[in-house]
Amino acid sequence: MLFIVIHQAYELWFKQLHHEVDSIVAIMGKPALNDNSPELQTVVHRLNRCVTILRVLVHQIDIMETMTPMDFLDFRDMLRPASGFQSWQFKELEAKLGLKFETRHGQEYYTSQLKPHHVDIIKKAEAGHSLLQLLNSWLERTPFFDEQPNWNDFTSHEPLDGVHPFWSEYRYQFQQSLAEAEKGNLAAFDQLFLAKENKPQGLTLSAAANRAALFIMLYRGYPLLQLPFQLLNALLEIDEQLSSWRYRHMNMVHRMIGTRIGTGGSTGKDYLKAAADKHYIFREIAQLNSFLIERRRLPVLPQAVQQRLGFTAA
């Protein structure tokens, strides 16, 4: 009884999460978001609701843990191989957010655990526009750097060919801020933010999108960037809650069945552990923190850009 109720409760909340993510994807999929409309605010609000729901889902594991391992063992036999741990709805959600099959840990094991028509549903979700892709497009549309006249007075300590003066300067300051042992980080900077190719191997965001995201983090104090910053932050929160869920789930399984073979026919913990580590969806956003600099080094923006980032009459 308890086992069934818990799973129904999870399915219910997954349904709601799908509903929220679908509506977010619909808004983010528009060719342009009007900064003065409440659209972006709606996106942030709904992402934060997803975070709240995920927190409750993580907490619900407490209830599952009131089952004793021996209760669980009796149960295991009844379930195999359609495992309760392999919720296709959860995987479909991951796919909508942006997790690709290629990135998943244990690909064969993963499909072998699901019914074919569930695999189809997940593949279909992967084929659509994921939130990660739409985020990439939205970030790429950021207009500030293309408005050349605004940057006329801005000079860099070390201008680089074919690089916007702001980013030449930022790269210079970043280099200055590196400790001896960190010097290698400059190559990573160049790959993430200055790559010429569209998307370097293994990355999910383009250099232009990464630049926009870093700019948002750096200058979040300006009115126009506050909501975009909250959006990036909400995405990181979602990743963190998904990760907490996988992690607590993993510990729970370990407590219940130890290294016994899971209801899915393979060692649950090993699989879940590897998955918990690899399945960060917005990890490039999370990595941006590696490229921040001390506040005192932060380039002062030209007046025209500052005005651009502010309110009309204030």
Q: End-to-end alpha-carbon separation of the chain, Å?
A: 60
CA distances from 312 to 37, 122, 288, 294, 306 (A): 15, 45, 30, 30, 12
Q: Which is nearer to a second copy, 60 or 133 (CB)?
A: 60
C-alpha span between 288 and 232 (Å, rounded): 11
If binding is defined by CB under 8 A, does position 148 make contact with a second copy? no
If the CB atoms of residues 160 and 286 are measured against a second copy, the closer one turns out to be 286
Nearest to 91 by CA among 128, 62, 66, 125: 125
Give the tokens for residue 291.
Answer: 């490229």
| Choice from 96, 291, 299, 301 touching a second copy (CB under 8 A) | 291
Give the three-class secondary structure for 82: coil
Binding positions for a second copy, 206-235, rule CB under 8 A: 217, 221-224, 226-227
> Measured from the CB of residue 93, what is the shortest distance to a second copy in angstroms?
15
Could you give the dihedral angle defined by the CA atoms of residues 3, 5, 7 and 11, in that order, rounded to the nearest 10 degrees? 180
Task: Give the whole-angstrom CA distance, residue 75 versus residue 263.
Answer: 9
Contact status, residue 270 vs residue 168, Cβ threshold 8 Å: no
Q: Specify whether the backbone of 67 is left (phi greater than 0), alpha (psi in -120 to 50) or beta.
A: beta
> Which stretch in 6-14, 102-110, 126-134, 196-204 sits in contact with a second copy by CB under 8 A?
6-14
Q: Binding to a second copy by residue 259, rule CB under 8 A?
A: yes
Alpha-carbon separation of residue 209 from 176, 199, 212 (angstroms): 24, 10, 5
Contacts with a second copy in 167-186 (CB under 8 A)? 179, 181-182, 185
- Looking at the Cβ atoms of 127 and 314, the one nearer to a second copy is 314
* Interface with a second copy, residue 108, by CB under 8 A: no
Q: How long, in residues, is the chain?
A: 314
Restricting to residues 63-102, name those near a second copy by CB under 8 A.
63, 66, 69-71, 73-74, 77
Nearest approach in angstroms of CB 266 to a second copy is 8
* Interface with a second copy in residues 188-207 (CB under 8 A): 188
Residue type, position 258, single letter = G
Decide: is 1 part of the binding site for a second copy (CB under 8 A): yes
Of the candidates 137, 240, 270, 278, which one interacts with a second copy according to CB under 8 A?
Answer: 240
Give the shortest CB-299-to-a second copy separation in angstroms: 14
312 binds a second copy (CB under 8 A): yes
Question: Which one of residues 52, 152, 176, 303 is an interface residue with a second copy (CB under 8 A)?
Answer: 52
Q: Which residue's CB is nearer to a second copy, number 85 or number 247?
A: 247
Look up residue 87 and give its amino acid.
Answer: S
Does residue 27 belong to the site contacting a second copy (CB under 8 A)? Answer: no
Compute how many residues bind a second copy; rule: CB under 8 A. 79
Q: Is 49 in the site for a second copy (CB under 8 A)?
A: yes
Determine if 145 is a binding residue for a second copy (CB under 8 A). Answer: no
Q: How near is the Cβ of 177 to a second copy at its closest, in Å?
A: 8
Cα–Cα distance for residue pair 148/41, rounded to 1 Å: 28
DSSP 240-252: HHHHHHHHHHHHH
Which is nearer to a second copy, 137 or 226 (by Cβ)? 226
